[in-house]
DNA sequence: GGCGAATCTCACGTTGACGTAAACTGCGAG
DNA sequence: CTCGCAGTTTACGTCAACGTGAGATTCGCC
């Protein structure tokens, strides 16, 4: 990581497209190489390669020479991964479970899969639904706990302020 | 960890005191040895020793033979540490910063320190206040982000349900 | 087509937070 | 007194999630 980058909540800036030739013109959805992809997402290049290595993030494609290329989808996926990792506290193994299930579901939307066995498609959606519900449950619990904790801190701050006022009332 | 223990939100059960001899009688505030302390807090004995090793949790005292003894305060402190660790995502180094500052402030409450330099006491409280405010800020940000994420998941669940209903409408 | 910057693929190193095994000790029951 | 258990110190092992070169390739600009 060369530049820490506020790590805040700015959305991943879409790949360039300076004036008019965004994607609809070129057909190619504006790909980034690993260096810039790393900068935009705020992770290291090594991290992107590692994510690929363990199978949670594949580049959108490769250049003729073999350089990884990432599109908007992949950048957002990195954000998703980081969110699950830092915010929820999942490890990459658990994250793999989440994203692969989402991927399998994503293939459903592709037209050439519409012909598949309907009951199997139902099973896929159901599986994704159940996993999402489990994740939601987990997150909801965490929201409650962390909210409580925040309020405790607020109370603590109030008491500190009182003590401080008490001390100020009796100056040196 | 021998018994996983739901890891939920039950308060740390106070050390025994079977019938009437809680603490006011014996003078000693009901100490536990490391094995039971570990069980009650849901961490391993190694973890308790490790916390001591890195200076974030000292046992209340030792038995004649050198066994560590933990009281209610220490058990709660373990919970606090785990909360900061798992819920907020602080590492033990950061946690050390939090708890030691709280400790230094805690000595203020001890009567025999009332005589200290008032301006120094003010500085101590101020320091703890500022650190707590910084932590509160950090936690508040996290609350917002994780709440958003939870709501996103809820929306996702809704859409999955719709898709599923759509599939069910066209039975096999 | 040449050159410096960016990427590539191994492959070993690191760090935090413990796990785990070994050898020793204190102590209450039988 | 001995057995056995819970506890102690010391020290090496582990695992995830990358960090960090080394040496070979590729990119893109002059």
Domain ranges of chain B: 1-17+27-115, 122-172
- Identify any residues that bridge with A70 across adjacent strands, giving them in sequence order: A32
pLDDT at B107: 81
B129 at interface of A, judged by CB pairs closer than 8 A: yes
In the sheet that holds B32-33, the strands lie side by side as B32-33, B68-70, B61-62
> Sorting pLDDT into bands at 50, 70 and 90, what band is A150?
very high
> Sorting pLDDT into bands at 50, 70 and 90, what band is A13?
low
pLDDT at A26: 46
Architecture of domain A1-115: Orthogonal Bundle (1.10)
pLDDT, mean over chain A:
85
What does the pLDDT average to over A114-135?
87
User: Is A10 a residue whose pLDDT tops 70?
Assistant: no
Q: Which chain B residue is nearest to residue A139, measuring alpha carbons?
A: B150
User: Is A126 a residue whose pLDDT tops 80?
Assistant: yes
Range B1-17+27-115 has CATH code 1.20.1050.10: no
pLDDT at B120: 83
pLDDT at A113: 75
pLDDT at B57: 97
Q: Work out the minimum CA distance from B6 to partner chain A, whole angstroms.
A: 13
Q: How far is the CA of A28 from the C1' of D25 (A)?
A: 25
pLDDT at B126: 92
Give residue-wise pLDDT tens across range B109-138. 777 777 778 888 888 899 999 999 999 999
Contact A122 B87 (CB under 8 A): no
- How many Å apart are CA A163 and CA A149, to the nearest integer? 21
User: Is A38 a residue whose pLDDT tops 80?
Assistant: yes
DSSP B42-95: TS-HHHHHHHHHTTS---SEE-TT--EEE-HHHHHHHHHHHIIIIII---HHHH
B172 at interface of A, judged by CB pairs closer than 8 A: yes
Q: Could you tell me which residue, B23 or A115, shows the higher pLDDT?
A: A115
B142 at interface of A, judged by CB pairs closer than 8 A: yes
Using alpha carbons, list the distances in angstroms from residue A122 to A112, A118, A125, B160.
17, 6, 5, 10
Nucleotides of D under 7 A from a protein CB: 6-10, 16-20, 25-28
A88 at interface of B, judged by CB pairs closer than 8 A: yes
Q: Which chain A residue is nearest to residue B127, measuring alpha carbons?
A: A160
Contact B87 A145 (CB under 8 A): yes
A133 at interface of B, judged by CB pairs closer than 8 A: yes
Contact B119 A172 (CB under 8 A): yes
What does the pLDDT average to over A129-144?
95
Residues of A in contact with B129 (CB under 8 A): 157, 160-161, 164
- How many Å apart are CA A151 and CA A90, to the nearest integer? 24
pLDDT at A15: 59
DSSP state of B33: E
Nucleotides of C under 7 A from a protein CB: 6-9, 16-20, 25-27
SS3 B12: coil
For chain B, 172 residues long, give each residue's pLDDT as a single digit of tens: 333 444 445 577 665 544 444 444 445 568 999 999 999 999 999 999 999 999 999 999 999 999 999 999 999 999 999 999 999 999 999 999 999 988 888 887 777 777 778 888 888 899 999 999 999 999 999 999 999 999 999 999 999 999 999 887 876 5
Sign of CA dihedral B30, B54, B1, B78: positive
Q: Could you tell me which residue, A92 or A118, shows the higher pLDDT?
A: A92
> Sorting pLDDT into bands at 50, 70 and 90, what band is A52?
very high
């Amino acid at each position: 990581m060369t530049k820490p980058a506020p790590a805040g909540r700015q959305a991943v800036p879409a790949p360039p497209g300076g004036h008019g030739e965004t994607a609809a013109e070129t057909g190619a959805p504006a790909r980034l190489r690993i260096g810039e992809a790393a900068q935009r997402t705020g992770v290291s290049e090594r991290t992107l390669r590692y994510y690929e290595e363990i199978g949670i993030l594949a580049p959108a494609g490769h250049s003729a020479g073999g350089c990884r290329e990432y599109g908007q989808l992949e950048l957002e996926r990195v954000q998703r991964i980081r969110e699950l990792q830092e915010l929820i506290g999942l490890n990459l193994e658990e994250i793999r479970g989440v994203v692969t299930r989402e991927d399998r579901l994503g293939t459903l939307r592709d037209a050439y899969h519409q012909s598949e066995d309907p009951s199997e498609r139902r099973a896929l959606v159901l599986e994704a639904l159940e996993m999402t519900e489990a994740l939601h449950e987990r997150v909801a619990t965490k929201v409650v706990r962390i909210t409580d904790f925040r309020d405790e801190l607020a109370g603590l701050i109030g008491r500190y302020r009182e003590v401080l006022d008490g001390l100020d009332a009796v100056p040196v």
